[in-house]
Amino acid sequence: MNPEPGFRPPPLPQNQQAQQGRRVLIALTVVGAFLIIAGILFIKYFKKGEQPQPSPPPSGDELQVHVLNVGQGDSILVIAPGGKSVLVDAGAPGSGKVVIDAMKRYGVNQIDLMVATHAHADHIGGADEVMRRTKVTTVLDSKISISTKNYEDFLSAIERTGAKYVPASPGQKFDLGGNATLTVLAPIQPFFTSDQLRSGANEPNANSIVTRLDYGDFSMLLTGDAEAETEDRLMKTGANIKARILKVGHHGSRYASSEKFLRQGGFEAAVISNGAENRYGHPNQTALDRLRQLGTKLYRTDLQGEITIIARGSGYEIKTERAESGDLWAGRTPPRNDAADEGDSSRSSRPSRRTGSGR
């Protein structure tokens, strides 16, 4: 049967029309949601592309790093933009006074974090005096203990003052306020043992706490007495060693600051903390030559006194206490070949291992 000319299908019943409408609405909602999600993802991706290093923006206030003049040893006072303070090492016994004086000069009332890079006397010798004379909230330790009076005094000062004891571990991040951070890179476990180290080297140095300080476009690597073995391990494990400034490892020892490490770090400036009179021959000429070859700007506490770095999140400036009193690029020679061993720091628990290291 043919339909009549002009036949039109009968209109859909009303409930079928409503169903079709709902389907269209659902389809539109799905498409809309998809577009919104795609948009959010695109913006996120785009933003990421704009900022390859998504570090938080600096507050714009000053970050101060004072590499104190404690003679042969290390002590670095960091004052973060938000006012928090970090003391990386406290120099040799007797250096507590230098730290306390610097705190007074810069209006620092307490140490929020004390980093004891390792147990040698030229790094923790002044720590008990600092803890006796000012409040230290938290102490970060490498946990490589040695049986010296200095290290025992350091541990008992922590106990006596009730400072919080924290063993260092890579990845720990300390928020210093104002979007400045201190990140632990080493010691990396398992700890170096003596059989893994060259003759004359030692576990406290090789397992030094290495940290990086970040604030806006400013960054600084603080290496304690880490040597080439530590540097190799940092590079092999992919630690972020790229920084604008390097606190040179082990006072400029020839066994630290390998060329590969300096190249990868890309440091613009390097600071050596050492004493004018030291029996180790620090800094060593070959280490200085490696820094000079890469065009690194050099600062030394033995020739320029206290070195101060000021960063405001964008750029930085370095000031010295005084004009250099000698050639920055000239290394020191140990006074007596048999007495000096730059592989070790003073007062190690293993005096027998101090002899026989190559220089």
211 φ, ψ (degrees, to nearest 5): -130, 160
Q: How far apart are CA 172 and CA 334, in angstroms?
A: 38
Nearer to Zn ion, 128 or 225 (CB): 225
Which residues, at least 6 apart from 266, have a Cβ–Cβ distance to it below 8 Å? 242, 243
Stretch that binds Zn ion, among 5-13, 135-143, 190-198, 337-345 (CB under 5 A): 337-345
Residue 235 burial (C-beta neighbours within 10 Å; 0-12, 13-18, 19+): middle
Nearer to Zn ion, 225 or 302 (CB): 225
- Using rule CB under 5 A, residue 348 touches Zn ion: no
- Give the contact letters, 297-336, x = binds to Zn ion (CB under 5 A), - = no: ----------------------------------------
- Using rule CB under 5 A, residue 203 touches Zn ion: no
Stretch that binds Zn ion, among 80-88, 220-228, 234-242, 306-314 (CB under 5 A): 220-228
In this structure, are residues 262 and 234 in contact, taking their beta carbons and an 8 Å threshold? no
Smallest gap, in angstroms, from Cβ of residue 117 to Zn ion?
8
Nearer to Zn ion, 58 or 224 (CB): 224
Smallest gap, in angstroms, from Cβ of residue 122 to Zn ion?
4
- Using rule CB under 5 A, residue 341 touches Zn ion: no
Pick from 94, 153, 142, 86: which is nearest to 114 by CA?
86
Pick from 293, 294, 290, 296: which is nearest to 271 by CA?
296
Nearer to Zn ion, 73 or 178 (CB): 73
Which run of H or of E encompasses 176?
strand 173-177
Smallest gap, in angstroms, from Cβ of residue 328 to Zn ion?
20
Nearer to Zn ion, 84 or 250 (CB): 250
Smallest gap, in angstroms, from Cβ of residue 260 to Zn ion?
22
Nearer to Zn ion, 125 or 313 (CB): 125
Buried b vs exposed e over 22-32: b needs ≥16 C-beta within 10 Å?
eeeeeeeeeee
Smallest gap, in angstroms, from Cβ of residue 135 to Zn ion?
26
Smallest gap, in angstroms, from Cβ of residue 60 to Zn ion?
35
Residue that is written with structure tokens 């000021």 in the block: 310
- Give the contact letters, 168-187, x = binds to Zn ion (CB under 5 A), - = no: --------------------
In this structure, are residues 76 and 222 in contact, taking their beta carbons and an 8 Å threshold? yes
Q: How many of the other CB atoms lie within 10 Å of CB of 141?
A: 22
Stretch that binds Zn ion, among 295-303, 304-312, 318-326, 338-346 (CB under 5 A): 338-346
Buried b vs exposed e over 74-98: b needs ≥16 C-beta within 10 Å?
bbbbbbbbeebbbbbbbbbbebbeb
Nearer to Zn ion, 203 or 225 (CB): 225
Smallest gap, in angstroms, from Cβ of residue 92 to Zn ion?
9
Which tokens sit at 268? 């613009």
- Using rule CB under 5 A, residue 225 touches Zn ion: yes
Pick from 88, 107, 322: which is nearest to 220 by CA?
88
- Residues in the interface with Zn ion (CB under 5 A) total 3
182 φ, ψ (degrees, to nearest 5): -120, 120
Instruction: Show the DSSP H helices in the chain as ranges.
Output: 14-50, 96-105, 121-124, 127-133, 149-161, 203-206, 228-236, 259-265, 285-293, 301-304
- Using rule CB under 5 A, residue 345 touches Zn ion: yes
What is the footprint of Zn ion within residues 101-130 (CB under 5 A)?
Answer: 122
Smallest gap, in angstroms, from Cβ of residue 89 to Zn ion?
8
Smallest gap, in angstroms, from Cβ of residue 301 to Zn ion?
13
Stretch that binds Zn ion, among 54-62, 125-133, 277-285, 345-353 (CB under 5 A): 345-353
Contact footprint for Zn ion (CB under 5 A): 122, 225, 345
